[in-house]
């Protein structure tokens, strides 16, 4: 096998693909898991009630990608949050491999993947079950492969949504993206478990959009602005505003143009 042959499906990880679900996150959260069962990916060719961050709906027509990685573990919130960096890095890698185009992709804190400055993909983490009883972390990933939602249906200051097809002319089958994403996620997840957040932080920062520029972050009904300096070692966003330094563990980033 040549060294650039695609990675194979990770050992011990399940793969389920359905034609239609309400939401792959909702379905993964309600799936019964046997004690000792390993993690699995659940993909749907179409979602009828996809959900996004902050309770927003996520549109998912046939041809777009919607899948959830379900990890049968209760992780403390700070550790769970780090998994979303593993997911964002893996997704960017899978998209570069699938399109054959390394240029144009970037990451927006905490875990959006951008293409040519527009929002291409989003990630939603949800915890379910109680410690020891069906506990799980669900990492839901949606990618606009063939269609982006109508910008008019989104908040006014949301980034323009884009699709892979419109931006690159490349049509990726959702199953093919899953086959690239699963091994890439497995590698980043192992790196996180073995070496901690450092390697992910470096890799994420190398692809970060608008680093060194002034950005705004909404945290509930507060808004902070400042120059995007870095991520700290817990994945929090660090902004510099004059003499003030804001360390933001969670929020929604807005770019002014
Ligand atoms: C965002 O708002 O940026 C996050 C969007 C996450 C959408 C994905 S699609 C697969 C999974 N199932 C859901 O219902 N949501 C996530």
pLDDT per residue as tens digits for the range 6-62: 689 999 999 999 999 999 999 999 998 888 889 999 999 999 999 999 899 999 999
68 Cβ inside 6 Å of ligand 1: yes
14-206 in CATH: which number?
Answer: 3.30.930.10
Whether the bond between 110 and the residue before it is cis, its omega within 30 degrees of 0, is: yes
Query: What ligand 1 atom has the least distance to the C-alpha of 53?
Result: 2
Cα separation, 163 vs 181, whole angstroms: 17
Q: Indicate the pairing of strand 133-143 with strand 65-71.
A: antiparallel
Q: Is the domain defined by 214-255 classed in CATH 2.30.30? A: yes
Domain with CATH 2.30.30 in the chain: 214-255
pLDDT in tens, 205-239: 999 999 999 999 999 889 999 999 999 999 999 99
142 Cβ inside 6 Å of ligand 1: yes
User: Is residue 78 a contact partner of residue 164, using CB atoms and an 8 Å limit?
Assistant: no
Confidence class of residue 2 from pLDDT cuts 50, 70 and 90? very low
pTM of model > 0.75: yes
Nearest CA to ligand 1 atom 16: 140
pLDDT at 73 over 90: no
Buried b vs exposed e over 79-99: b needs ≥16 C-beta within 10 Å?
bbbbbbbbbbbbbbbbbbbbb
Domain with CATH 3.30.930.10 in the chain: 14-206
Query: What ligand 1 atom has the least distance to the C-alpha of 119?
Result: 3
Buried b vs exposed e over 218-246: b needs ≥16 C-beta within 10 Å?
eeeeeebebebeebeeebbbebeeeeeeb
Which DSSP category does 55 fall into? G
């Amino acid at each position: 096998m040549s060294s650039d042959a695609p990675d194979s499906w990770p050992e011990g990880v399940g793969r389920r693909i359905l034609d239609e679900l309400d939401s792959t996150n909702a379905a993964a959260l309600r799936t019964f898991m046997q004690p000792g069962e390993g993690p699995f990916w659940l993909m749907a060719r179409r979602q009828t009630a996809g959900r996004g961050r902050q309770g927003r709906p996520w549109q998912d027509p046939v041809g777009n990608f919607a899948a959830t990685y379900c990890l049968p573990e209760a992780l403390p919130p700070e550790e769970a949050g780090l998994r979303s960096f593993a997911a964002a890095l893996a997704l960017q890698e899978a998209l570069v491999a699938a399109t054959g185009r390394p240029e144009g992709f970037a990451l927006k804190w905490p875990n959006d993947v951008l293409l040519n400055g527009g929002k291409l993909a989003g990630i939603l983490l949800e915890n379910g079950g109680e410690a020891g009883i069906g506990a799980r972390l669900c990492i839901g990933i949606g990618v606009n492969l063939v269609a982006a939602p109508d910008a008019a249906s989104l908040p006014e200051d949301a980034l323009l949504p884009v699709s892979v097809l419109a931006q690159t002319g490349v049509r990726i089958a959702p199953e093919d993206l899953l086959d690239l994403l699963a091994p890439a996620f497995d590698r980043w997840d192992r790196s996180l478990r073995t070496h901690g957040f450092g390697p992910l932080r470096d890799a994420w920062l190398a692809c970060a959009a608008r680093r060194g520029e002034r950005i705004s972050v909404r945290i509930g009904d507060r808004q902070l602005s400042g120059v995007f300096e870095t991520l700290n070692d817990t994945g929090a966003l660090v902004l510099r505003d004059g003499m003030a330094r804001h360390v933001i563990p969670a929020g929604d980033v807005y770019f002014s143009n």
